A and B are shown apart, each in its own frame.
Chain A
């Protein structure tokens, strides 16, 4: 499109630092009217941070943002919205008890005298909107009662109703069925016709090549490349996205150490596991002393799968055997009892007690071991904590510091350490390196390999292909609720995997 037109949104030298984690480093980002710009990069590459700055949710440590050539105050969500920057967030941004209609017009209902809402006009506009974008939805249904897909549509409608100049879409298709994706893309093209600038954040290369004009590729908090998609091909993009950031020897080391099927002893056997409406027919074996990585798109139900194995969710079909014993854990308590450790995806929501100390968090899963009669042996806990801190080289090394003061990487190490303390026979990790700086990543990989050597069976969910290629002994690809294939890591190339992942959404 009009690549020469002046950028409507222009960010220069943005950076954001949490504690000692650099989430975003001197990033430039611009998008022009009528341009659909893909923003891609593995998890924790800094995309969400950039988005948060552009929506005003957070204040950058440095840098400036111009809209239509005007420099704008940062950290002011309303200002951004008023200036025409709308965002469709990954998480729901709706008032569940309110009707679709009210959500679309949230905070800006057309009003007549005495602030009486002009519902007729509201309906008219909404109807027009629906017609224009060919979306079917019951305007009076409370959003809370709608399925997630529909809720996404409401979010999109909300943004569209703002007739924004720039729309940021953060993983807009993560929860959409392929048909809906196609429709969304149609919508996007329509918007492009009307000169709206769109920032399209996604992991799905197919989608990107299908709908985007240009691409900005980020890695580890930096913008590593910008280009016209017309002039690039998948391989290049993936290459840029994945990069060679890990020191070659680490990768090399990792690769030659690969031990598909570990000791050969089957630790975990999953057969036709399913949960109605979520995933189904999943079968695989996990051996002692191997690392099996489940990769796929966000929303391909990998998390849901491993939750069921751990016991925090229920499955309603298939069987799970551990060491040949059939189990059906109905709660984490039982999962742990059968030797499973589980590092959840969102360490803040589900993993750590942020206000509590490193030691407390480290012993959280193994309290009973530190009981002396009715009391806890603080000394014992401290010792255990100290040992873990040294093994995992947590920085700062103080066991008494509150976890929330640690960097993402160290927080993650603490979370992993909590489960290692259990000496799990099976360790499940869900996106263990999201938002973790590169150094910590390497350390975590090292830890995992060490556990593998000790004979633990490790099941890891990751969307970061580079990571998968580095640590996996075997790779399973999940596509919309099905385990499409399991490869020996050695015998499969990244592009192949990429294709399989993308292959999920034709």
Chain B
């Protein structure tokens, strides 16, 4: 945003700071982290733990992958936390009503899509600042979740099919990991192979030009938020199935920031523009590895937080330097 509004050439050509991070700094940082953890605690590299990491990042991963587009268009979605809770509740009540699994899943995802749609329309059509819109939606959605679900835990008992989503495993890998992989794959496909993907990049790069090329910016932006909401909902379904519980307070304050951090570490500029789903996946795993490694070394929470902050700053400032 600090790029001077000058004439032809000079400063506008400066690439968005984050861009150069992904290809070099992030993998390097990841390698270093892995090496350090492995040295201090060989068990870090055990198959069990690596699978564990994959399982642990699945939920944040799905949300991050789905939020990447939003951030690429210069937006942000702070409301993913409560959406996660809402979706879980919706699924629970659907199960309670004895509906078949597809209906249940649909119910959950629909809630997310609806919230996303609300966000998207407000941002794209009314053109209000995304951060405020989704901040408002954060408290609206949380309030709704608490009204709908109340404080009680809604236990999801003997629903083998539903529980399989979060707890089942195929060929030794948790099913949730497959879901994450599928979503990531799908979004990468969308980004690389569909008009939407190209359009999102175009809007982030030069919204005005995209508009003058005859594209419907508002619709695209709305869609992007819908995707984000749906992603959060899917995450919510997986979580509720993983813990056999639906609870209105799931996805507490801070969830959204973790997700955003993952996306940004992945090299997408928070100001919008150039970004990549694939690199977001990298960012997700980077944070996952940090958390897992520090847990496995039994690092106290205080040091964990400080380290996380410091590492984000270092990684990104390296990127900024490159630019």
| Alpha-carbon distance between A374 and B195 when the two chains are bound, in angstroms | 8
> A367: nearest residue on chain B (CB-CB)?
B195
Pick out which of these stretches binds chain A: B171-179, B196-204, B225-233, B246-254: B196-204
Known: A57-B10, A376-B195. A350 touches B205 (CB 8 A): no
Let me know if B214 and A58 touch, CB within 8 A. Answer: no
Known: A91-B5, A312-B211. A354 touches B10 (CB 8 A): no
Closest beta carbon of chain A to B323's beta carbon, Å: 12
B15 at the interface (CB under 8 A from A): yes
Known: A350-B208, A350-B209, A354-B206. A48 touches B7 (CB 8 A): yes
| Alpha-carbon distance between A7 and B6 when the two chains are bound, in angstroms | 29
| Alpha-carbon distance between A365 and B19 when the two chains are bound, in angstroms | 26
Chain A residues near B216 (CB-CB < 8 A): 333
A276 at the interface (CB under 8 A from B): no
A371 at the interface (CB under 8 A from B): yes
Chain B residues near A18 (CB-CB < 8 A): 9
| Alpha-carbon distance between A364 and B10 when the two chains are bound, in angstroms | 24
Let me know if A374 and B213 touch, CB within 8 A. Answer: no
B322 at the interface (CB under 8 A from A): no
Let me know if B210 and A353 touch, CB within 8 A. Answer: yes
Let me know if B10 and A332 touch, CB within 8 A. Answer: no
A450 at the interface (CB under 8 A from B): no
- Which one of A333, A348, A364 contacts B9 once the chains associate, using CB atoms below 8 Å? A348
B13 at the interface (CB under 8 A from A): yes
Chain A residues near B273 (CB-CB < 8 A): 355
Let me know if A404 and B13 touch, CB within 8 A. Answer: yes
| Alpha-carbon distance between A52 and B4 when the two chains are bound, in angstroms | 13
Chain B residues near A348 (CB-CB < 8 A): 8-9, 12
- Which one of A354, A408, A418 contacts B205 once the chains associate, using CB atoms below 8 Å? A354
Chain A residues near B239 (CB-CB < 8 A): none
How many A-B contacts are there with CB distance less than 8 Å?
Answer: 94
Known: A332-B213, A332-B214. A91 touches B7 (CB 8 A): yes
B274 at the interface (CB under 8 A from A): yes
Central interface residue in A351, A353, A371, A376, by most chain B CB within 10 Å: A353
> B7: nearest residue on chain A (CB-CB)?
A48
Let me know if B212 and A368 touch, CB within 8 A. Answer: no
| Alpha-carbon distance between A90 and B209 when the two chains are bound, in angstroms | 22
- Which one of B7, B208, B214, B215 contacts A335 once the chains associate, using CB atoms below 8 Å? B214
> B214: nearest residue on chain A (CB-CB)?
A336
B193 at the interface (CB under 8 A from A): yes
A279 at the interface (CB under 8 A from B): no
Let me know if B194 and A376 touch, CB within 8 A. Answer: yes
Let me know if A374 and B214 touch, CB within 8 A. Answer: no
Closest beta carbon of chain A to B185's beta carbon, Å: 14
| Alpha-carbon distance between A353 and B15 when the two chains are bound, in angstroms | 12
Name the interface residues of B34-76: CB closer than 8 Å to any CB of A: none
| Alpha-carbon distance between A434 and B212 when the two chains are bound, in angstroms | 19
Chain B residues near A333 (CB-CB < 8 A): 214-216
Let me know if A350 and B212 touch, CB within 8 A. Answer: yes
Closest beta carbon of chain B to A468's beta carbon, Å: 21
Let me know if B194 and A374 touch, CB within 8 A. Answer: yes
| Alpha-carbon distance between A375 and B196 when the two chains are bound, in angstroms | 9
| Alpha-carbon distance between A350 and B213 when the two chains are bound, in angstroms | 9
Chain B residues near A155 (CB-CB < 8 A): none
Let me know if A354 and B199 touch, CB within 8 A. Answer: no
| Alpha-carbon distance between A105 and B206 when the two chains are bound, in angstroms | 34
> B211: nearest residue on chain A (CB-CB)?
A332
Chain A residues near B208 (CB-CB < 8 A): 349-350
| Alpha-carbon distance between A404 and B13 when the two chains are bound, in angstroms | 7
Let me know if B12 and A354 touch, CB within 8 A. Answer: yes
- Which one of A335, A364, A376 contacts B210 once the chains associate, using CB atoms below 8 Å? A364
> A365: nearest residue on chain B (CB-CB)?
B213
For chain A, give the interface size range: 35 or more
Name the interface residues of A217-264: CB closer than 8 Å to any CB of B: none
| Alpha-carbon distance between A351 and B213 when the two chains are bound, in angstroms | 8
Known: A48-B7, A374-B194, A378-B193. A353 touches B214 (CB 8 A): no
Chain A residues near B215 (CB-CB < 8 A): 333, 367
Let me know if B10 and A58 touch, CB within 8 A. Answer: yes
A342 at the interface (CB under 8 A from B): yes
| Alpha-carbon distance between A348 and B13 when the two chains are bound, in angstroms | 9
Central interface residue in A57, A364, A368, by most chain B CB within 10 Å: A364
Let me know if B212 and A360 touch, CB within 8 A. Answer: no
Chain B residues near A368 (CB-CB < 8 A): 195
> A336: nearest residue on chain B (CB-CB)?
B214
A455 at the interface (CB under 8 A from B): no
A352 at the interface (CB under 8 A from B): yes
| Alpha-carbon distance between A375 and B205 when the two chains are bound, in angstroms | 22
- Which one of A335, A350, A353, A408 contacts B201 once the chains associate, using CB atoms below 8 Å? A353
> A333: nearest residue on chain B (CB-CB)?
B214
Chain B residues near A350 (CB-CB < 8 A): 206, 208-209, 212
Chain B residues near A375 (CB-CB < 8 A): 189, 193-194
Interface flags for B131-159 (1: CB within 8 Å of A; 0: not) read 00000000000000000000000000000
| Alpha-carbon distance between A90 and B205 when the two chains are bound, in angstroms | 25
Chain A residues near B10 (CB-CB < 8 A): 52, 57-58
| Alpha-carbon distance between A378 and B192 when the two chains are bound, in angstroms | 9
| Alpha-carbon distance between A355 and B12 when the two chains are bound, in angstroms | 11
> A343: nearest residue on chain B (CB-CB)?
B212
> B205: nearest residue on chain A (CB-CB)?
A353
Known: A354-B12, A354-B13. A418 touches B6 (CB 8 A): no
Interface flags for A35-74 (1: CB within 8 Å of B; 0: not) read 0000000000000100010000110000000000000000
Closest beta carbon of chain A to B125's beta carbon, Å: 14
| Alpha-carbon distance between A58 and B11 when the two chains are bound, in angstroms | 9
Let me know if B6 and A57 touch, CB within 8 A. Answer: yes
| Alpha-carbon distance between A335 and B8 when the two chains are bound, in angstroms | 27
Let me know if A367 and B199 touch, CB within 8 A. Answer: yes
Chain A residues near B9 (CB-CB < 8 A): 18, 23, 348, 408, 435
Chain B residues near A332 (CB-CB < 8 A): 211-214
> A370: nearest residue on chain B (CB-CB)?
B195
Chain A residues near B205 (CB-CB < 8 A): 353-356
> A348: nearest residue on chain B (CB-CB)?
B12
Interface flags for B210-224 (1: CB within 8 Å of A; 0: not) read 111111100000000
| Alpha-carbon distance between A351 and B189 when the two chains are bound, in angstroms | 26
A344 at the interface (CB under 8 A from B): yes
> A59: nearest residue on chain B (CB-CB)?
B10
Name the interface residues of A367-414: CB closer than 8 Å to any CB of B: 367-368, 371, 374-376, 378, 404, 408
> B15: nearest residue on chain A (CB-CB)?
A355
Chain B residues near A408 (CB-CB < 8 A): 8-9
Chain B residues near A360 (CB-CB < 8 A): 198, 201-202
Chain B residues near A418 (CB-CB < 8 A): 213
Q: Give the 7 A-B CB pairs with smallest separation, nearest first.
A: A353-B205, A336-B214, A332-B214, A367-B195, A364-B213, A375-B193, A365-B213
B contact set with A: CB distance below 8 Å:
5-10, 12-13, 15-16, 19, 189, 192-195, 198-199, 201-202, 205-206, 208-216, 273-274
A contact set with B: CB distance below 8 Å:
18, 23, 48, 52, 57-58, 90-91, 312, 332-333, 335-336, 342, 344, 348-356, 360, 364-365, 367-368, 371, 374-376, 378, 404, 408, 418, 434-435
14 pairs, CB–CB < 8 Å, chain A vs chain B: A52-B10, A91-B5, A332-B212, A336-B214, A349-B206, A350-B208, A350-B209, A351-B209, A355-B15, A355-B273, A367-B215, A378-B192, A418-B213, A435-B8
